[in-house]
Amino acid sequence: MKIKRHSAALGFLAAGTLVLSACGSDQNVKAEDVNPALSNLNVECGTQPVSSEGSSAQKNAMDVFARDYSSKCEGQELRYTKSGSGKGVSAFNAGQIDFGGSDSPLDEEDGEVAKAAERCQGNPAWNLPMVFGPIAISYNIPGVSDLTLNPELIGKIYQGQVKNWNDPAIAALNPGKQLPDLDIVPFYRSDESGTSDNFQKYLKTSTNGAWTGEGKQFRGGPGVGQGKEGSDQVSQAVQATPGGISYIEWSFPKNLGLGIAKIDSGAGPVELTTANVGKAINEAKIEGEGNDLRVDLDSIYGNKAPGVYPIVLNTYEIVCSKGYEPETAKGVKAALTVAANANPTELEEAGYVPLPQEFKDKVLTAVNAIS
């Protein structure tokens, strides 16, 4: 039932985009009533809808952004189509949308960087990391509400090397806890998924290469675990299976009341909280130059500092640095400025983490430079 209420709430946010944009001042909806941060936010609204398309991982955050944008810029809309990262990049490069949403930055080897520059009238496109969503290691162990795992153990579970919850290696990380003699039942995404891609990148980095699987198709040990399509099916499978475990976007285990493991990267157990994920984001290194803010994922996934929760998926908004028509540039800048100032509580409820101030400043500097 909780997952249905969550879906209903997100549906309300999506519907709110249409209601607010259609009614605007007719309903006397004030921006500060929707999101207090908008009251002192100065943006120059465009005169036409802003269109975007791409990653499904950021769709629920986009619902929040769209509602806020329609409130701040009365009569205007931020339209987002959930079609997948590849289609988002293709649509952007073809000039069909104003900005694209992608789980990965533009790929130079695949020609995406060159195509994007051509679309932007000979100017470079920028990758702006606007949305961050933690990946939870979720579990169902009867009688256990507090569990700590480390990357090596998580990898061994998915390689079939650790098979029982009372394994000595797990017990060593959880002293004094009564772990049951219960088979571990790993679940994974059977469909291609940005969540699997980022989870495997995390395992590879954090285990110093002991994990070798990579890509959007999950590559665990032969015959290990059960595949389920979509995060909703994975989370429901964990809920229904004593001994179950999986990697799932934060909102799903939260709404189903599943256990979420603490991660010990070497400096002690770290709980999945907004603050602890924010530390990982703030300490992330930027690979791109200037306002091209491509994130060095290794600097997040390999961060072993105390209090850092390192399993994070980030998505980009791909924009033209220059080359937009004037009204399009206004709309894109206004929409992304509003997005960067989204209500933290609403983002967390939707399963995301708000941008920490220091990182948000970098993103807003890039947004303000769009022309």
Tell me the residue type at 80.
Y
Q: Model-level pTM?
A: 0.82
Residue 328 in marked binding region: no
Tokens at residue 34, please? 């929707």
Domain boundaries, the chain: 2-131+317-368, 135-276
Residue 334 pLDDT more than 90?
yes
Digit-coded pLDDT (tens) for 101-126: 998 899 999 899 999 999 999 999 99
For residues 140 and 248, is the Cβ–Cβ distance under 8 A?
A: no
Residue 21 pLDDT more than 90?
no
CATH code for the domain defined by 2-131+317-368: 3.40.190.10
Domains 2-131+317-368 and 135-276 share a fold: yes
- What is the model's pLDDT at position 322? 98
CA distance 33 to 12: 16
178 by Cβ neighbours in 10 Å (0-12 / 13-18 / 19+) ranks as exposed
CA dihedral 271, 279, 169, 177 (to 10 degrees): -20
Maximum mean pLDDT: which of 3-7, 221-225, 251-255: 221-225
Residue 27 pLDDT more than 80?
no
Residue 220 in marked binding region: no
DSSP-derived 3-state class of residue 78: strand
Residue 209 in marked binding region: no
Q: Which ranges of the chain does DSSP label H, i.e. alpha helix? A: 2-23, 31-34, 59-72, 85-93, 112-119, 151-158, 168-173, 194-206, 230-240, 251-256, 274-282, 297-301, 326-340, 344-349, 357-368
Which residues are within 8 A (CB) of 9 and not within 5 positions of it... i.e. 6 or more apart? 349
Which residues are within 8 A (CB) of 201 and not within 5 positions of it... i.e. 6 or more apart? 214, 297, 301
Tell me the residue type at 257.
G
Residue 57 in marked binding region: yes
Digit-coded pLDDT (tens) for 281-328: 999 999 989 999 999 999 999 999 999 999 999 999 999 999 999 999
Residue 259 pLDDT more than 90?
yes
Residue 265 in marked binding region: no
CATH code for the domain defined by 135-276: 3.40.190.10
For residues 132 and 313, is the Cβ–Cβ distance under 8 A?
A: yes
* Cα-based distances in Å from 76 to 19, 71, 126: 11, 8, 24
Residue 197 in marked binding region: no
| β-strands 262-264, 148-149 pairing | parallel
Residue 52: beta bridge partners?
Answer: 80, 99
Residue 8 pLDDT more than 70?
no
For residues 93 and 137, is the Cβ–Cβ distance under 8 A?
A: no
